[in-house]
Amino acid sequence: MAFGLGLIIAIILLKYKPAYVVSLSGEQIGYVNSATELKNKIQEEIINMEGKNIDFVTLENMPNYEIKLVDRNQETNEDEILLALKDDAKIMYKYYAVVLNNETVSYVDNMEEAENAVNQIKEEHKNDSIKLDLLITTNYTENINEIGIQPVTVAKEEVEEKVDFLIEEDLKTKRPSINGVLLAVTPVTGRISSRFGSISSIRSGAHTGTDIACAFGTPIKAVANGTVTFSAKNGSYGNLIKIDHGNGVETWYAHCNKLYKTVGEKVEAGEKIAEVGLTGNTTGAHLHLEIRVNGKAINPQKYLYK
């Protein structure tokens, strides 16, 4: 009887072999010879998966193993099983947000490079008066492709543009204005050589402007946006250009060497309109700047060159 049982077992083993049937969520996905080897590969290739910005990987549905006798010609498919498990895996990615004053400016994938860029920007603007709350936050997602990750160099440029805008807006709040006209630019840089209201033997009355001494040929810039209403020689003013800024506000720029704008032209604040000269009643190269409101000269130093 023992011989007969052994013969039966031998015949069975000639036709069949033991194998593990692997199933996932109740669905059969393949066969392997060793459940232990598959478990080790799942740990190495899926759970411990390495890749850019991968934080961790989980398998919410672990496979089931059932040993059975299967046809000896049945092929194992370990690679296909691993692919099926990878498709079922939950991969959590880590990425970083560059945040300026509670507003996310950009997303990047390299924390160290982002921190270096942020520190550079902070150092460049450490003496500025603007609020600059700039930091990097860590975030997580299952779909990194939907985030819009940018190179750190691009993110840095976007942050710098935002910072420049904040600086410009901050300056606007501190710049003077007359009747709603923002005096955005000082026309030249130099030394005050004669103040508003001063009396001199070379004048017939009190000084109606402020004189700023500077090098011959220095570019003169428009103080604010406006329209040129006069651009020609005018007696003791020499070459004179006048700009109407609206709301009754007008600026005059006298003793110019050259005039670059003509009557009717629109100019923007900071635009070059003339250059410093010696024309008219003057003893040295300088800009004579007047500010007039409804035709009356006012002291420019209440607003500029304080």
Among 135, 153, 174, the domain boundary falls at 174
Residue 146 falls within a domain, yes or no? Answer: yes
Task: DSSP letter for 142, please.
Answer: S
Res. 272 pLDDT band, cuts 50 70 90: very high
What is the arithmetic mean of pLDDT over 47-60?
89
User: What mean pLDDT is predicted for residues 270-287?
Assistant: 95
Claim to verify: residue 188 and residue 278 sit in the same structural domain? yes
Q: How far is CA 185 from CA 106, 174, 209, 270, in A?
A: 33, 12, 17, 6
Percent of the chain with pLDDT over 90: 63
Give the domain-ending residue among 35, 58, 88: 88
Q: Is the dihedral of CA 24, 26, 32, 38 positive or negative?
A: positive
DSSP assignments along 18-79, one per residue: EEEEEEETTEEEEEES-HHHHHHHHIIIIIT---TTEEEEE-SS--EEEEEEEETTPPP-HH
Q: Same domain, yes or no, for 151 and 189?
A: no
Model pLDDT, residue 186: 92
Is residue 2 a part of any domain in this protein?
no
Count of structural domains within the chain:
3
Q: Is residue 3 part of a domain?
A: no
Tell whether the model's pLDDT for residue 131 goes beyond 80: yes
Judge if pTM exceeds 0.85. no
Rounded to 5°, angle at Cα 282 from 281 and 288:
95
In a domain? residue 4: no
CATH for 289? 2.70.70.10
Kindly state whether residues 170 and 246 are assigned to the same domain. Answer: no
Question: Which of 181-185, 273-277, 285-289 comes out lowest in average pLDDT?
Answer: 181-185
pLDDT at residue number 170: 78
Q: Which residue has the tokens 């805008």?
A: 165
Q: Which domain holds residue 274?
A: 181-302
Is 28 domain-assigned?
A: yes
* Residue 20 near residue 67 (C-beta atoms within 8 A): yes
Where is average pLDDT lowest: 68-77, 154-163, 221-230?
68-77
Sign of CA dihedral 188, 189, 193, 195: positive
What pLDDT is attached to residue 160? 92
Q: How many CB atoms lie within 10 A of CB 234?
A: 16
pLDDT of residue 145: 87
| Assigned domain for 1 exists | no
State pLDDT tens for residues 85-99.
988 889 999 999 999
Dihedral sign, Cα of residue 108, residue 110, residue 113, residue 119: positive
From residue 257, alpha-carbon distances to 120, 192, 232, 286 in Å are: 43, 19, 11, 10
The helix/strand count (H/E) of the chain reads as 5, 19
Asked whether residue 23 falls in the same domain as residue 47, the answer is: yes
The model's confidence at residue 60, banded by pLDDT at 50, 70 and 90, is confident
- C-alpha 255/C-alpha 239 separation (Å) is 5
Whether 5 is in a domain gets the answer no
End-to-end CA distance of the chain: 119
Query: Stretch 224-239: mean pLDDT, rounded?
Result: 96
The residue ranges of DSSP E strands in the chain, in sequence order, are: 16-24, 27-32, 54-58, 64-71, 90-100, 103-108, 134-141, 177-178, 181-182, 191-194, 210-213, 219-221, 226-233, 239-246, 249-259, 266-267, 272-276, 286-293, 296-298
Same domain membership, residue 56 and residue 125: no
Residue 169 DSSP label: H
Residue 208 shares a structural domain with residue 233: yes
105 and 191, same structural domain? no
Q: Tell whether 48 and 145 lie within a shared domain.
A: no
Please tell me the least confidently modeled range out of 30-44, 143-157, 191-205, 246-260. 191-205
Residues 196 and 286 in one domain: yes
Choice among 69-73, 139-143, 192-196 with the minimum mean pLDDT: 69-73
Q: Are residues 223 and 288 in the same domain?
A: yes
Residue 151 placed within a domain: yes
Which has the higher per-residue pLDDT, 152 or 16?
Answer: 152
Closest CA to 34 of 12, 67, 75: 67
Same structural domain, 163 and 218: no
| Res. 267: pLDDT tops 70 | yes
Contacts of 5 (CB under 8 A, 6+ apart): none
Domain end residue (candidates: 140, 174, 208): 174
- Using the predicted structure, report yes or no on whether residue 5 has a pLDDT greater than 70: no
The residue written with tokens 């779909």 in the block is 143
198-232 burial code (b ≥16 CB/10 A, e <16): eeeeeeeeebbbbbbbbeeebebbbbbbbebebbe
Query: Would you say the C-alpha torsion 126, 127, 128, 130 has a positive or negative sign?
Result: positive
Q: Do 118 and 156 belong together in one domain?
A: yes
